[in-house]
Amino acid sequence: MKKNNIFLDLGLQPLANNYLKKKDLEKKEKKYRLKVGMDANTNLVSINKPLSSKAMFNNTYPYRSSMSKTMINSFKNLSKLISNKFKPKKILEIGSNDGSFIKNFSKQKVIGVEPCSNIEKITKKLGYKTYANYWNKKTAWKILRNHNKIDLIYSANTISHIENLDEVFESINIVLEDKGTLIIEDPSLLECLKKNTYDQFYNEHIYVFSLIGLESILKKHNFEVYHVQKLDIHGGSNRYFIKKKDYKKKIDTSVKIFRQKEISFGLNKLSTYKSFSKRVLKSKKQLKKIFNKIILKKKKIIGYGVTAKSTTILNYCKIGKDMISYFVDTTKDKQNKFTPGTKIPIYKYRGFIENDIRYIFLGAWNFKDEIFKKEKKFIKEGGKFIIHTPYPKII
Ligand code: TMP
């Protein structure tokens, strides 16, 4: 990213998913300065100093896509659509995580690619062909040596984690059939700016894509988007249906509509991002004010759902264990550890909220509906959630 105009400085941040063990608490944590910029040539928005993939995606990676019903259902519905509409002979998923998507298909039909070997083991054990590799040309050629060309490639919340987009699409070009379909799903930059979800930026989210940004890189590699769908997933995502340019297929009107919406919001102008940056600063002040007010009343606050996103919020707003007593989370690999940077203890979610808790900071705000449904009793008894989007408030 040469022409990167920095518009947002989110301060010193630890690695977002680096949950600390007790023995690590006294050790100095690796931190980096998180800044976000916009490339005026491509309209791509990215963080300024990506760490190496190996430093982020290794054999201790804690994220599991199967931790939420919302994700499981979304993958199930898409799988149905893929089977009915595309009828693919072979499907490849880039970033198959613990198999929430590929498990909807027979073992002969799908291939997973997952570089985090602790997670790759899960699908391999179930009998799914999974390559424990980063997505690059080497992996693409390796797959082609063992299989025919692929007619459907899917990737959710993964492409935005890879710095070298040229290599991503060159590699896809190697394995995808000429009449094949590529489906990509990632958080939407437009929704991020509209909802002030600055926590979409952290070391793993190298990019937050807009359609116009993605199109600039796709064009370079002879791909084009022919249909776009808005999803509620992860606070607002886009699902892009992409084909090779030479494959004649009608471009759906959704593409033009999305493009126009993004341009009229100003996603092609640096000034739009500068205004966003001002809103982020305001959001930080408001959130701190809410926390301070509750703490002053000597009330306890806990956190619900430790997310990579919440690492950005807590470290940017300097909300630590003096404000949040502990977090609860359903992910085993996060439990009995401490939040990166802020060192707040993380406990296992025991299926209910302790009686003395009246305030919960919703780290997993992207699963708000699912969590509110689960915590009906807490809400009924007057329990409140603190949320930062679209602006900090108690609900
Ligand atoms: P994510 O936003 O990065 O997907 O992480 C969501 C985290 O929230 C994950 O660690 C699982 C956790 N979680 C709960 O603890 N309870 C829930 O009901 C849901 C939906 C998620």
Give the pLDDT score at 287.
98
Give the pLDDT score at 49.
73
pLDDT of 1 > 50? The answer is: no
CB 17 less than 6 A from any atom of ligand 1:
no
Q: Select from 145, 99, 95, 98 the least CA-distant residue to 115.
A: 95
Distance 154 CA to ligand 1 centre (A): 22
pLDDT of 63 > 90? The answer is: no
Which is more confidently placed, 57 or 217? 217
CB 307 less than 6 A from any atom of ligand 1:
yes
Domain boundaries, the chain: 38-270
Taking the CA of residue 331 as reference, the ligand 1 atom at the shortest distance is 10
Give the pLDDT score at 29.
94
Tokens 């949040």 belong to residue: 324
pTM of the full structure: 0.95
Q: 55: which 2 tokens? A: 């430093």
Backbone angles phi, psi at 49, to 5 degrees: -130, 80
pLDDT of 234 > 60? The answer is: yes
Q: 208: which 2 tokens? A: 């937050």
Cβ burial, residue 395 (10 Å; 0-12/13-18/19+): exposed
CATH topology of domain 38-270: Rossmann fold (3.40.50)
Give the pLDDT score at 285.
98
pLDDT of 144 > 80? The answer is: yes
Distance 195 CA to ligand 1 centre (A): 19
Taking the CA of residue 308 as reference, the ligand 1 atom at the shortest distance is 3
CB 372 less than 6 A from any atom of ligand 1:
no
Give the pLDDT score at 2.
45
Please tell me the distance from the alpha carbon of residue 95 to that of residue 98, in angstroms, as a whole number. Answer: 9
**Strands across the sheet containing 4-14:** 4-14, 31-39, 45-47, 207-208
Quick one: pLDDT band at residue 56, thresholds 50, 70, 90? Answer: confident
Quick one: pLDDT band at residue 52, thresholds 50, 70, 90? Answer: confident
Cβ burial, residue 298 (10 Å; 0-12/13-18/19+): exposed
Mean pLDDT over 191-211 rounds to 97
Please tell me the distance from the alpha carbon of residue 346 to that of residue 334, in angstroms, as a whole number. Answer: 7
pLDDT of 50 > 90? The answer is: no
DSSP 148-185: --EEEEEEES-GGG-S-HHHHHHHHHHHEEEEEEEEEE
Considering the chain, what percentage of its residues have pLDDT values greater than 90?
93
To test the ligand 1 pocket, which listed residue (19, 67, 205) has its Cβ within 8 A of the most ligand atoms? 67
Total residues found in the chain within this entry:
395
Tens-place pLDDT, residues 178-192: 999 999 999 999 999
